[in-house]
Each structure stands twice: as structure tokens, then as C-alpha cells.
Structure 1
Amino acid sequence: MTINSELASQHLETGDRLQQSGKFEEAIALNKIAEVYYDQQKYVEAIASCYQALRHQPDFAAAYKTLGNILQAQGKIDAAMRAYSKAIECNPNFVEAYVNSGSMFYKQGLLDDAIMYYHKAIAIQPDLAAAYWNLGKILEQQGRINEGFFYLKKALDLQPELAK
């Protein structure tokens, strides 16, 4: 989805006005605007929208996850990890934050931590193919071929297009 800057500005202004009215739905709207900016690689605007959403709703896990994604895209791994941790703190069953944390641990070479987070994601959402796939790849990398194969097969059973 592409949105022009003028329209995005109008959305932000609307979000600011609605934020002041104290409605949670508006924090959701601000987070969606942040996601649009993120998709456009307009990171400054995306971060500003996340912070607006969080000022309105300080325990809004989705906004922390979006913020983590933006920071990760900028290569700010530690800050992204803090955002994902805050998302999990706000919502201990937020599976996307666990998967994203697992990916961040993997990128840092902290494979045991990544494995733990993927297991948590699977425990919360047993049909999440991406978590099985990522877990399987890490286990293969560690030389745990049989275990890795089990998780990769499970991922493909759930989402066959992963093989492509």
C-alpha cells in the first residue's frame, strides 16, 4: 500500500486530534499509520507515529512491535530488542513479538535464546509455520539434523509454500 506524504500528514494530524480525545481506537490508527510509513521506509515518521500511539496507550503491545520492526530495519538491534521485550511485557501472549525476538537473537548469534523464543511462540500459537521453520533452520545449523528436520517438516505441513 502506498500513501502520499500529504495524505499521511493529514492522517497524523487526525491521529493527534483523536489521541487527545482519549480513544484507544485512535492509538490503533496511529500504529497503522506507522506501519504504512515503515513500508515506505520513512522511518522517522514511522517512529513518530509509534510514539504518538504509545503516548495515547502506553501498554499498546502492537505499537512496541511496530517500533521494534522499524528499529530493526535501521540496524538498531538493541533498541529493537527493548521494544519487542516491552511488547511481550504488555502482552505475554503476543506471538509476533516472540518470533521477532527470536530472529533478533539469531542475528546476534545467540542461538539458544532464539530457540527458546521460537518455542514460546509455538506454545502460544501451535500452527505458526514461520516459528517452526526458523527453529528448524537453527537446529540444522547446530548440527541437530533430526530435530531440525522435524520442525522444518512441521512448517511445510502447515505452509507448503515455504518450500519455494
Structure 2
Amino acid sequence: MSGEPMRLCSCCGELVPLSELEYSFAYPDAYYALDEAARFAPGTRCNDNFCVIGERRWFVRGVIPLPMESGDMYRIGAWAELSADDWRTVWDSWDERGSDLLPPLVGTLANHIPSTYEASTLGLNLTLRLHDQTRPSFHFAGTGHPLEREQLQEITPHRARYFTGLGSGDKA
């Protein structure tokens, strides 16, 4: 790991490589819950950025930004469930310049971050902000959830590494 950017964790004093600091979900939890036949049913499809289940549930992949005390930004890759109309807005704007000028959209977090909080993250209300050339970002307000507090405050590299360690399961 020579030459790799490192960050000193303020809570344990350990150097943490930045490359070890990202956790993400491949699909929304609702898609994971489907059996194989249902995943291939008409009206159900998923790719790296968009997922539709039965033409009734609409998901988009984005990131939950968490500022780090080092000045870096840690991102959890996750999915949000949107209304069909808002999903189409994201679909139509995905590769368009100026998408960052669109107003925020509302949705709910479509993944449970395991073994982290007493209360589930699944279903947390969020706003989704589009960005030119990067995935949308998810922001929480008024949820009272610890994840919202971590998003508003800084996390340590040690905490980011904890999130990344969750990726050893089957949903990373």
C-alpha cells in the first residue's frame, strides 16, 4: 500500500487507507427479497443505477455523503425508492448537463445498513439531489435517526472503516 493516501483516526490513532473506506449495496433490499423467478418477472428489471419491481416500485442508486474530520467525504452507496414520476425525472436527466439545477426530489432509503444502528435505516425519508456526471446524493432531514446526525457532523476514519467492514456480507 505504499504511496496510498492514509488518514489518521482521531479515536484510535491508527492510519486508515482511503481505499478501504467505501461501503455499498448492489441492489435495493426489496430486490434482494425477491426469489429468482420474481427477479425475472415481467416489469422487474435492475441495472447498476436503476431498478423497477413489477412496474410498481421505482428505485435509483446514489450515495449517502458523510463528511469526515479529515476533510474527505465518505460515501455509502445505497438505493432510494421514488415515485414513478420522480424516477422518470432522474432517468431522463441522468446523462444531461444541468441536472444539478433541478430541484431536490423526495424518496425513502431502500437499504437497511446492518449491525450499525438500533433503529433501521430502511424507509428513512430523504431528499435526492442530482449532480452532473456523478450519482445522486441522498440527504436526511428531520428523521431523528443517528445516520442523519452522522451526515450533519463529521465521522472519523475509524467509523468509515467500520462501515466498509460491513461490505464483507452478501450485499456489498
> One fold, TM greater than 0.5?
no
Which protein is richer in strand relative to its size?
A: 2
TM-score normalised by L of structure 2: 0.26
Q: Which has the higher helix share?
A: 1
Q: Which entry has the higher C-alpha Rg, 1 or 2?
A: 1
TM-score by length of 1: 0.27
State the structure with bigger RCO (CA 8 A, min sep 6), 1 or 2.
Answer: 2
